[in-house]
Amino acid sequence: MEITLPVSKRIALKNILFLTDFSDPSGTALQYATMMARAYDSKVTALHVVVPSIYTYMAGEMSASVLDAEDDTAQKEMGRVQAELAGLPNEVIIRRDTAVWPSLAKFLHEQEIDLIVLGTHGRTGLKKVIFGSTAEEVFRRTTIPVLTVGPAVRRPAHSGAQFQCVLFATDFNSVSNVAASYAMSLAQENQSRLVLLHVLPTPKLGKSNRSVALSVAEALHRLQDVLPRDAELWCRPEPVVEHGKPGDQILATAERRGADLIVLGVRGMDSLAELAARTDRAIAYEVIVHASCPVLTLRG
């Protein structure tokens, strides 16, 4: 089934939520949050959830002092965040909970948010198994678009920077549908190049070159049909077909094409276990961890 979308209207980002843990990736994510807020005349709400550390539970009678220290640290760090938001409509909120997602889910139910921006440490291997990934839980649970800034992302050149090249990777399923409309709208808004990528499996030995060529030709044709022909883009979309592992090829293509934003459709938490059973690592998280630019995900 081909994905054909209506011409997109300008994305409305009236309210941006910046979710922060005060880490270095969060600092970079704040730069992107302010950049987009200025471009879209948005209000930025900065939210930090204080989650008790293991030392809090070990402190016994001293736990109250540990909690007070955590609150004081959060207040000081949030003060620095608010200083970065000067000149923009903003609000800063600190909440305490046993985990980030329950508090975030309640906040999202209370407020109308158009975009979530957050940074991630990009845990992999045993650390990810033990501690999990807050970023992945967020972008797989919420239906709100999430802009995730990984540990390899460079800070934008200046606060007024725009995205110059948007890379949209698709496997032509329904999960990619909504993401495609955002990729197109962002390309329109920023008058940027739009690269459309599909990754095919590496050809098996013994398979005829003719059948492989036909597969590439079909993929290129479907990429050209992803966007409506009357879409008013700054330039002609660039369809690209590569062979190999999707995560590796998305990252390699982003580097070769100079992409400063990657757009992906993602599956929800309900299907994450099934996804993990079929792949070594979830592709979206792998891309976020290693990409040198932010990744916008939309849950299908």
The answer to whether residues 27 and 112 belong to one domain is: yes
User: Do residues 169 and 295 both lie within one domain?
Assistant: yes
Domain tally, the chain: 2
Do residues 118 and 62 both lie within one domain?
yes
- In whole angstroms, how far apart are CA 124 and each of 134, 146, 195, 292? 12, 20, 28, 17
Residue 198 lies in domain: 165-299
Residue 300 tokens, joined: 């299908």
| 244 vs 71: CA distance, rounded Å | 48
- Residue 228 DSSP SS3: coil
Q: Are residue 91 and residue 25 in the same domain, yes or no?
A: yes
**Residue 224 belongs to some domain of the structure:** yes
- Judge if 190 and 82 occupy the same domain: no
Query: Among 114, 149, 184, where does a domain finish?
Result: 149
For the segment 237-247, the average pLDDT, to the nearest whole number, is 94
Task: Looking at the structure, tell me whether residues 84 and 190 fall in a common domain.
Answer: no
DSSP secondary structure letter of residue 111: S
Residue 123 pLDDT: 58
The pLDDT tens digits for 250-273 are: 999 999 999 999 999 998 866 555
In-domain check, residue 3:
no
- Indicate if 98 and 181 belong to the same structural domain: no
Same domain, 223 and 138: no
Q: Once rounded to an integer, what is the mean pLDDT over residues 166-191? A: 87
Q: What would the DSSP string read from start to end of 44-108?
A: EEEEEEE---HHHHH-GGGHHHHHHHHHHHHHHHHHHHHHHTTTS-EEEEEEE-SSHHHHHHHHH
| Position 4 in a domain | no
Predicted confidence (pLDDT) per residue in 61-84, tens digit: 556 676 777 788 899 999 999 999
Q: What is the pLDDT of residues 107-157, one digit of tens each?
A: 999 999 999 999 998 655 434 433 347 899 999 999 999 999 999 998 776
Residues 21 and 144 in one domain: yes
Co-location of 134 and 189 in the same domain: no
Averaged over 274-285, what is the pLDDT? 60
Of 120, 149, 178, which marks where a domain is finished?
149
Q: Are residues 19 and 145 in the same domain?
A: yes
6 within a domain of the structure (yes/no): no
Question: What is the CATH number for 117?
Answer: 3.40.50.620
Residue 94 lies in a domain: yes
Nearest residue to 119 via CA among 37, 28, 198: 28
Give the pLDDT confidence of 179-233 residue by residue, as tens digits: 988 898 888 888 889 999 999 998 876 666 666 666 899 999 999 888 766 666 6
Task: Assess whether 241 and 294 both reside in one domain.
Answer: yes
Q: 160 lies in a domain? A: no
Is residue 154 in a domain?
no
Within a domain: 64:
yes
Last residue of a domain, one of 106, 124, 149: 149
Q: What pLDDT does residue 145 have?
A: 96
- Separation between Cα atoms, residue 188 and residue 9, nearest integer Å: 9
Residue reference for tokens 């962002």 = 186
